[in-house]
Each structure stands twice: as C-alpha cells, then as structure tokens.
C-alpha cells in the first residue's frame, strides 16, 4: 500500500529560526497537502499543491510539490511560538482519499 515517510519526527525551534520538514512517498501523488494539528483539534489545512514543481507560499510558510511527484517539503521562516504543534503531510493519488505521514512535532527550545 501507499506509505509516506515524514521527517524529522520532531524538532526544537528557537523563535526566529527557519524550519524545514519533508515527506517522501513510495507512490506517485497528484496532490500534496500540508496540515497543522494542535492538541485536541482536527488538522487545519496550511497549503495545497496540485502540480509537480509547484511552489506555493502562505505567509511565512512555503511548500513545494516535488518534480518526481514522490516528495514534498514545507518551510517555515522566522518561526514564532505559536508555530509549535504537529505538522502532517498528506498525499492523494486520484484527488480523493488522502494518505497521511506520521507527523513532525515542532517544539520550542527552552
């Protein structure tokens, strides 16, 4: 079946740092989505990518749909404390059900 490998599993940030995370797939996807989930809530869509090579920004967030269609990355620039949470990548082959990665936990360095 389809599998997504998301890395890193967790990371610590200091305010102002740039953050990068990525996802690779064993299958070709036609849609890549990035979500953020806070404790006790559902995932919230951050960025949706629909075309290979596409680079899309949403404020301080930038995501790219890999040329091979088997990977995607998410960058967060100049991180702030409210960026902490769990980030999930998700891919879809036919534009219907999504396969999710296991998530990247973003924590604040004390």
> For another protein, which residue of 44, 55, 78, 80 counts as binding (CB under 8 A)?
44
Candidate ranges 12-20, 59-67, 73-81, 95-103; the one touching another protein (CB under 8 A): 95-103
> For another protein, which residue of 13, 19, 22, 43 counts as binding (CB under 8 A)?
43
DSSP letter for each residue of the chain: ---EEEE-SEEEE-TT--EEEEEEESS--SEEEEEEE-TTS--EEEEEE-STT-EEEETTEEEEE-TTSSEEEEEE-S--GGG-EEEEEEEESSSSS-EE---EEEEE--
Q: Does 34 bind another protein (CB under 8 A)?
A: no
> For another protein, which residue of 35, 63, 66, 79 counts as binding (CB under 8 A)?
35
Rank residues 16 and 39 by Cβ distance to another protein and give the closer one.
Answer: 39
List contacts with another protein (CB under 8 A).
4, 6, 31, 33, 35, 40-45, 48, 88, 90, 92, 95-103
């Amino acid at each position: 079946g389809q599998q997504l490998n998301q890395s890193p599993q967790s990371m610590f940030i200091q305010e102002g740092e740039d953050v990068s995370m990525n996802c690779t797939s064993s299958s070709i996807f036609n849609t890549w989505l990035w979500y953020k989930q806070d404790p006790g809530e559902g995932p919230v869509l951050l960025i949706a990518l629909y075309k290979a090579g596409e680079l899309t920004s949403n404020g301080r967030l930038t995501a790219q749909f890999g040329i091979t269609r088997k990977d995607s990355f998410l960058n967060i620039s100049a991180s702030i404390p409210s960026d902490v949470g769990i980030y999930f990548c998700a891919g879809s082959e036919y534009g219907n059900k999504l396969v999710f990665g296991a998530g990247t936990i973003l924590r604040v360095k004390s």
